[in-house]
Chains A and B, each alone.
Chain A
Amino acid sequence: MKFKKLIPIFSVIILAFVLRFWDFGVNPAGVYVDEASLGYNAFSLLKTGQDEYGQSWPIFLRSFGTYQSALYSYLSILFIKIIGLSNVGIRALSLVSGLILVALIYFSLGPIEALIIAISPVFVFFSRSAFESNLALSIFMSGLLLSIKAKNRPSLLFFGLPLLSFSAYAYHAERFLSLFFLFFFFLSYFFSLKKNRRQLILASILALSIQLPLLLISLKSGTNARLLALLYHQNGNGFLGFVKNYLVYLSPNNLFSRPDPDLQRSFPDLSVFYWWMFPLLIIGLIKIYQNRQNLKWQDKIMFLLLFVAILPGAITKEYFSTLRVLPMFIPLAWIIAQGWKNFFKHKTKPSLFLVFLACLQLYSALVLLKHERSVNWGYSYKNLVDKLSLIKDSPIVVDNTRLKPLYILFAFYQKYDPKFIQQWHGSAHLADYYDYAEFTSKQKLKNIEFRPIFWQEDIYKEQYLVGDSLSISDEQALEHKLKIIDSIKNSTGQEVLRIFKTNPAEKCQSSTKGQKSKHCLSLVN
């Protein structure tokens, strides 16, 4: 009997696991710089107790002047210790977070809700790569759902409110959401749980004390630099512009048909939810409207979450950023589940047909993601690092015009000693660690320089130049007598990066007297 009860939860978890774990680590192909930064900082913390800049156990990682939340790196230390600094090692925490979320939703909202979370593209995608927002979502939802249940079991406040507070350490959007819901639960329970006010006040004090270090650090200028850079500007549209930005997140086209425009945050041609979930959402909304007199406390909070969770995305200037509004997709999944339950009642076969359809669509999207988006995920840089590591005797210039923090990929793949990277960064800005959001785009690691190519000088020095066809075109290579040494292809066989060797002697010979550079004269002398 007990085993029979466990079958549905195991089925949903296994389904969620297969969809997330198939091709895990290599799909998306490559590692993006943000992931590499989270991973390398976890590695640095594991080895030295300091991040790449030499800051001991920071609350935010300065990273590329973006001040990422550090909790993902802290919790990844265990995985990196066991698995090692690799694609799988850095993404494992996100996978676990995604599976915990499915289990959490199963027990709190229901099996159909969990099934929708298990198969929906947005949740599958964010569980396959290292995203702080995916970790934050699991912590935030566990805090929120426990706080909701505290209405009937007030002792749960001691778990719910602190977890809500803790989620703020995982991602920037939760810094706002957690505070909002802490105040919301405090106010609503202060009047509804009159007998348990003491428990409520103690739990709230505990939650606020957890949040206090973060709030104090938030006063530092650097920690808000990313937000200020992304903030929605009043470009003449004023409040109406903000409303439009807000409504973008409720557009059926963005939710059910068109993918997130950021190529690193979506499956190709697959939206947040599947197109066939749209009718189920409409049915769900109708059902909820018909049942509006009997809505439970939990149902009302789901609607509140839907409208509040959009705000962190709507205040930024980016068009439809799924990363910043992940919590809003939980209430949407819940509404879709109401439609699903109402439409299919207890018929299993039509439900299974939709699961098959989801599997087919996901399979297609995963193949496209792996091959078509390999350029966007920096697949070729792993090969580049391997090839350049063999060149030890000559200087190398890698063009980083299109991807400024390239150095972190080299540190990640080569597993550079964190002490070396800390010394390389220097300790000049350790005192104002949280106030220094500057990031220099020119870096040098050992014999490799990361910067744009200076054509007036670089071709007259004996060295290697690395770049894509935009950095070094065929015409430029011919004109400047560059000799191609190697090329790196993406997973569809297209040449994306090329390694050239300069030939100063031949270049100087071919130059006319007027064109000859001062470097040619020094070469002759």
Chain B
Amino acid sequence: MKKTILFLLIFILFVFSFLNTKLNDLDVIQINQRRTYYPALLGKLYQNKWTKKFSLTRQKLFSYLDWQQK
């Protein structure tokens, strides 16, 4: 338990402080064109064609569940 909590805290600090780099032009283009932003290292893991497809399917599913709009 102690180890997992310690790991969690280190992870949060890692994500929220060490990766808080200044945005370059490419990052700004990313922000304007893509709907998510992650620093390069995480971006490769977290943003790919599969996650994009999954995201689109998810949005379609939730739109289908929007019963009060029908």
Contact = CB atoms under 8 A, between A and B. Distances in A.
B23 interface: yes
A23 B15 CA distance: 13
B4 A368 contact: no
A372 B12 contact: no
Interface of B is mostly: helix
Interface residues of A, number: 38
Interface string A308-319: 000000000000
Nearest to B31: A371
A269 B35 contact: yes
A364 B67 contact: no
B4 A352 contact: yes
Contacts of A22: 16-17, 20
Contact of B58 (A15, A257, A348, A364): A257
Interface string A397-423: 000000000000000000000000000
Interface string A434-455: 0000000000000000000000
Contacts of A256: 62
Given A18-B16, A247-B68, A252 B62 contact: yes
Nearest to B62: A257
A46 interface: no
B28 A492 contact: yes
B4 A359 contact: no
A48 B11 CA distance: 47
Contacts of A11: 5, 8-9
Contacts of B63: 253, 257
B65 A268 contact: no
B17 to A, nearest CB: 7
Interface of A: 7, 11, 14-15, 18-19, 22-23, 244, 247-248, 250-254, 256-258, 268-269, 275, 278, 348-349, 352, 355-356, 359-360, 363-364, 367-368, 371-372, 492-493
Interface of B: 1-2, 4-5, 7-9, 11-13, 15-17, 19-20, 23, 28, 31-32, 35-38, 42, 46, 58-59, 62-63, 65-69
19 contacts: A11-B5, A15-B9, A22-B20, A247-B68, A248-B68, A250-B68, A251-B69, A269-B35, A348-B1, A348-B4, A352-B4, A356-B11, A359-B12, A363-B16, A364-B37, A367-B31, A367-B37, A368-B36, A368-B37
